[in-house]
Chain A
């Protein structure tokens, strides 16, 4: 492919100017005259029958326009559907926009108040009288599947909403005959993505066109337009979703939630713009949670430390309902639990379990943060029992580069997992060298009581580019630049920058002259959005192909104009020049003029320089990485200080290395949160106790460690023209595993549960000392 050096260079972000100057447009900045404000009335009970709802007092409150309950929604309204990893039986567990007869988690919407201001709406929400008849609550997934557990959903008659088993080899026999078996219950705590910007929507009906317009879309505008249109029984063309600046998504923001139906529905019903900005306490109770899994997992090894089998039965706590992700999270756990190792025998039993907690969905490295913790913890425990260096034990069992592409035997949503490329042992070596393991081993010995020190390593294979296609169009603009229309979405990751870089490389136009449009379904006809580390690999590949096609058309038109063979022309900067005779040129602005209908139709030409293309990847791509952590633990207070942190990540090709670094460093910070700080704790009644930032502890700049990032490009993927694998999730993916392994090394104890709170640390230290 053509290379002009824009790909691989850390050009300044296109997004930064408006963000840094404060001129960005977030959804709460959208002002429409006559806007009404919605407030959602949420259930205070985790599980209860809704006996009656009395709205008269609220309706009579000052400034109130409407109070809607489930009775006011269209009869026959379907629940919010799954959009991926769907499974028939799960349809019995979907959520309706407003609770009808039963509420199944504290925070479930039961009514909407729409008023002249958010103040008036909240005052009136206090006046909505809901009579609840409390039902027994079940919160832990193992309790939920125990015989006699209260049913979260009565009709399907089970709290196991779905699941499946992946298996090969004679697992039971291998375990029976293995020299060493390590078996543990390993639990990952419930935590959540918690983007800086909470969700928000402004919905209005365009008076001119009758089109319902919804500002505040994120992640998957086109997918959500389809869902919203279908729930409202409108043609897709009557619904427009618009993505503005988005302050982070991480999997949670942008999925289709009850409010994504309710706010547009109110705007249609009341024929006024309706705005809703989620506040933080709502966000923590309403937006998808993630990560809560309980594993009973076991590892079988021979006497030489060779892995013989991996066995796991786990429960994924998906909360009160199955939301849009269907089986994504537990499915990803089962698919990627094998990691970078060979497993002669494998069994993973997946159980998607409902409980009376907030529904759960994806969060950066969904299902893998958990899987990597489980597998890498088991491996360290095995190493300790065998008396083998944990690194050495891993190296003995890695898939070799000569085995690529490597079919793991697992699958995602029925699609086989086949690792595309990788040299795992090489990256382990490079990362340990970069981390300077020898130096940290010496550092460890200098710990002074009551502090102890340890180092931990964790390996992982990520996946990227789920939802295998995307769309792009590229055009030459009247000022002689180029404009990209992408089906991708920006959640703050630098989409515009990266797509402009790819366009610059494919087309030859300067990076500075390229702009990127995305996220408005009225302007971009189709797309798959931003999730699963897909926007660069799939969205970028679509841009690259469109740009390459456009380049041919530009050269053709220039060739006619300059009367020079297209093969002797190149696009350079703002013009097309003749090779070796650069005075002979035509600017792109001139070519744009030459492409107007009046100039080309007579000759049977196609007006305007614009090309679109879809890109379909044969499969996902599989980046891989290594996390190394050095911790110092205070055995009296339970404080864990991260003294060193290195991530090695091979992503095939880094389009913008600084942005890749940012992805990894941010991911580590979130991974640290799940390892040490963040937990959505519930009390016995099912109330979220960690319901504000006072109790839900996000790591701040004070807690996030300096992260040394090593990005390698040893294994480009053959599955897209860029060679790039997604970089979004590797920073989070193995942080819990590496930190827990480092704590284990420091304390000489084996933690099996995240987060490692100070109290758990103190208990582990005491247990090890005793």
Chain B
């Protein structure tokens, strides 16, 4: 449980970090909160030659609301996101979601950017970000690009980030007023990686019919996935129990979750369907309250 030897850098600015990545990117890993990387190092499952520790890059530690978006610096700790009343008011789904991330100690240390870049399909924030249509700002010494979840998440633990690129900001468009939200998951113990989970956003028109729906699934596929067919099905329909049941069935119609010792693919399929019903029901209640 001791990491193999590695070189270590601790840049103080984004520019320095990008320069180091440009030079060593192929052989380096970025160390942020370390909640996934450090165990991988200690188990000797990851053996990078170099760690580029961005914990001193203070300019990446910010939360800003304005211009129709919440901007989250990549170094923001989960606990900062959790405690921010501004975030809770602007994007209440995020506070609801982040409380499912690990335990307090993990949230105090783990970063939003780290969770996104690690791209674990069982992680909560990537799923919430997918539901929220978040845009990911990625920089390198070559310049900056902005990508959506569909483009960022490639597969299990893999993003489209190039070796010299650094995720710097997550830009979350603010949901329109009246949007109902819910994040539900089931884990064997509180704080464990969930066996399944769902983030849902719903908004009603003045007749009480759904005019916007976003559903993202956790642990359903090698990346966070949007249930586009179910979303389309909901549009124009009243949000009652029967609709929710049909939408949930559609949401899981094409998923093939991978199984492990905590639950088979078949079990997870049924679980995610049940959780989707629950998420839609909770989000619909909130949307109705707001309407």
Min C-beta distance of B103 to chain A, whole Å: 9
SS of A interface (majority): loop
Q: Cα distance A637–B43 when bound, in Å?
A: 31
Task: Return the contact of B2 from the options A118, A638, A697, A702 (Cβ within 8 A).
Answer: A118
B261 with A699: CB separation less than 8 A: no
B274 in the interface, Cβ–Cβ < 8 Å? Answer: yes
**Cβ-defined contact, A695 with B4, below 8 A:** no
Find out whether the CB atom of B267 lies under 8 angstroms from the CB atom of A762. Answer: yes
- B186 pairs with A637, CB closer than 8 A: yes
Partner of A280, one of B1, B261, B263, B270: B1
Residues in A whose Cβ lies below 8 Å from that of B275:
637
Interface residues of B in 247-267 (CB under 8 A from A): 260-264, 267
Whether the Cβ atoms of B264 and A636 lie closer than 8 Å is no
Contact between A758 and B261, CB atoms less than 8 A apart? no
Q: Which residues of B contact A677 (CB under 8 A)?
A: 188-189
Tell me which residues from 178 to 201 in chain B have a Cβ below 8 Å from any Cβ of chain A. Answer: 186, 188-193, 195
Is B177 an interface position by the 8 A CB rule? no
Known: A636-B271, A637-B274, A697-B192. A126 touches B4 (CB 8 A): yes
B267 touches A758 (CB 8 A): yes
Which residues of B lie under 8 Å from residue A279 when comparing CB positions? 1
CB of B143 within 8 Å of the partner chain: no
Interface 0/1 of B42-60, CB less than 8 Å to A: 0110000000000000000
Contact of A20 with B by CB under 8 A: no
In the complex, whether A281 has a CB less than 8 A from a CB of chain B is yes
Interface string of A276-318 (1 = CB under 8 A from B): 0001111000000000000000000000000000000000000
Q: How far is the CB of A363 from chain B (nearest CB, A)?
A: 20
The interface residues of chain A lying within 8 Å CB-to-CB of B274 are 450, 636-637
Contact A759 B189 (CB under 8 A): no
Q: How far is the CA of A692 from the CA of B186 in the complex (A)?
A: 20
A281 with B1, Cβ < 8 A, contacts A677-B189, A695-B261 known: yes
* B191-229 contact mask (Cβ, 8 Å, vs A): 1 or 0: 111010000000000000000000000000000000000
Asked whether, in the complex, the Cβ of A762 is within 8 Å of the Cβ of B186, the reply is no
- A593 interface contact, C-beta 8 A: no
- Decide: A758 and B2 in contact? CB cutoff 8 A: no
B5 A123 Cβ-Cβ under 8 A: yes
Q: A residues within 8 A CB of B262?
A: 695, 757-759
What 1/0 mask marks residues of chain B from 155 to 168 whose CB sits below 8 Å from any chain A CB? 00000000000000
Report A753 CB to chain B, min CB distance, Å.
Answer: 15
B35 to chain A, nearest CB (A): 12
Nearest chain A residue, comparing its CB with the CB of B196:
A637
A636 near B261 with CB under 8 A, answer no
Determine whether the beta carbon of B189 is less than 8 Å from that of A123. no
B188 pairs with A759, CB closer than 8 A: no
Q: Mark A678-694, 1 if CB is under 8 A from B, else 0.
A: 01010000000110101
A552 within 8 A of B: no
- Known contacts being A637-B186, A677-B188, is A762 close to B2, with CB within 8 Å? no
Q: Are B189 and A694 in contact (CB under 8 A)?
A: no
- Smallest Cβ distance from B63 to chain A, in angstroms? 28
Please provide the chain A residues from 383 to 427 with a CB less than 8 Å away from any CB of chain B in the complex: none
Q: Contact partner of B188 among A118, A122, A689, A758, CB < 8 A?
A: A758
CA distance A638 to B195 in the complex (A): 11
Residues on A with beta carbons closer than 8 Å to the beta carbon of B188:
677, 697, 757-758
Contact with B along A728-770 (1 / 0, CB 8 A): 0000000000000000000000000000011100100000000
**Complex CA distance for A123 and B39, rounded to whole angstroms:** 17
A443 contacts partner chain B, Cβ-Cβ < 8 Å? no
Q: Does A28 contact B (CB under 8 A)?
A: no
CB atoms of B189 and A699 under 8 A apart: yes
Given A281-B1, A637-B274; A758-B43 close (CB under 8 Å)? no
User: For B5, what are the chain A residues with a Cβ–Cβ distance below 8 Å?
Assistant: 123
Q: In the bound complex, how far is the Cα of B195 from the Cα of A697, in angstroms?
A: 14
Closest B residue to A279 using CB positions: B1
Could you say which residues of chain A place their CB within 8 Å of the CB of B39? Answer: 692, 694
B189 touches A762 (CB 8 A): no
Measured CA separation A242–B275 after assembly (Å): 54
- Compute how far the CA of A636 lies from the CA of B5 in the bound complex, rounded to whole angstroms: 47
Cβ B190 vs Cβ A702 within 8 A:
yes
Q: Please determine whether A759 and B186 come into contact, CB atoms closer than 8 angstroms.
A: no
Q: How far is the CA of A493 from the CA of B107 in the complex (A)?
A: 33
Q: 1/0 per position for A693-708, CB-CB distance to B under 8 A?
A: 0110101101100000
Give complex CA distance A757, B4 in Å: 36
In the complex, how many angstroms separate the beta carbon of A488 from the nearest chain B beta carbon?
33
**Known contacts A637-B274, A677-B188: does B1 contact A759 (CB below 8 Å)?**
no
Give chain B nearest CB distance to A120 CB in angstroms. 9
Tell me if B270 and A762 are in contact (CB < 8 A). yes
Could you tell me the distance in whole angstroms from the C-beta of B181 to the nearest C-beta in chain A? 21
Whether, in the assembled complex, A119 has its beta carbon less than 8 Å from a beta carbon of chain B, the answer is yes
In the complex the two chains form, is B43's CB within 8 Å of A281's CB? Answer: yes
Nearest CB of B to A644, in Å = 20
Q: In the complex, are the beta carbons of B186 and A123 less than 8 A apart? A: no
The CA of A450 and the CA of B1, in the complex, are separated in Å by: 43
**Closest beta carbon of chain B to A42's beta carbon, Å:** 13
User: Who on chain B is nearest to A281 by CB?
Assistant: B1
Q: Which chain B residues lie closer than 8 Å to A759 at the CB level?
A: 262-264, 267
Q: For the complex formed, measure the closest distance between the CB of B3 and the CB atoms of chain A, giving whole angstroms.
A: 8
- CB-defined contacts of A280 to chain B, threshold 8 Å: 1
Task: Give the nearest-CB partner of B261 in chain A.
Answer: A681
Closest to A696 in B: B261
> Do A639 and B189 contact each other (CB < 8 Å), given the known contacts A280-B1, A281-B1?
no
A122 and B2 form a contact (CB under 8 A): yes
Query: Which of A638, A699, A703 counts the most B-chain CB atoms under 10 A from its CB?
Result: A638
Alpha-carbon gap, A702 to B260, bound state (A): 23
Interface string of A118-145 (1 = CB under 8 A from B): 1100110010000000000000000000
Against B, the Cβ 8 Å flags (1 = close, 0 = not) of A21-44 are: 000000000000000000000000
A282 cross-chain contacts in B, Cβ below 8 A: 1
Chain B residues within 8 Å of A123, by CB? 4-5
CB of B157, distance to nearest CB on chain A (Å): 14
Contact of B186 among A126, A679, A690, A758 (CB under 8 A): A758
Query: Smallest Cβ distance from A639 to chain B, in angstroms?
Result: 7
Q: Among the interface residues A122, A280, A694, A759, which one has the most CB atoms of the partner chain B within 10 A?
A: A759
Shortest distance between the CB of B144 and any CB in chain A (Å): 35
Interface string of A628-652 (1 = CB under 8 A from B): 0000000011110000000000000
On A, residues with C-beta under 8 Å from B are 118-119, 122-123, 126, 279-282, 450, 636-639, 677, 679, 681, 689-690, 692, 694-695, 697, 699-700, 702-703, 757-759, 762
7 contacts between A and B (CB under 8 A): A126-B44, A279-B1, A681-B261, A689-B260, A697-B188, A703-B190, A758-B186
7 A-B pairs besides A697-B188, A758-B188 with CB distance below 8 A are: A126-B44, A637-B274, A638-B271, A695-B261, A702-B191, A758-B262, A762-B271
The 9 A-B pairs of least Cβ separation, nearest first, read A279-B1, A636-B274, A759-B267, A681-B261, A637-B186, A702-B190, A122-B2, A119-B2, A759-B263
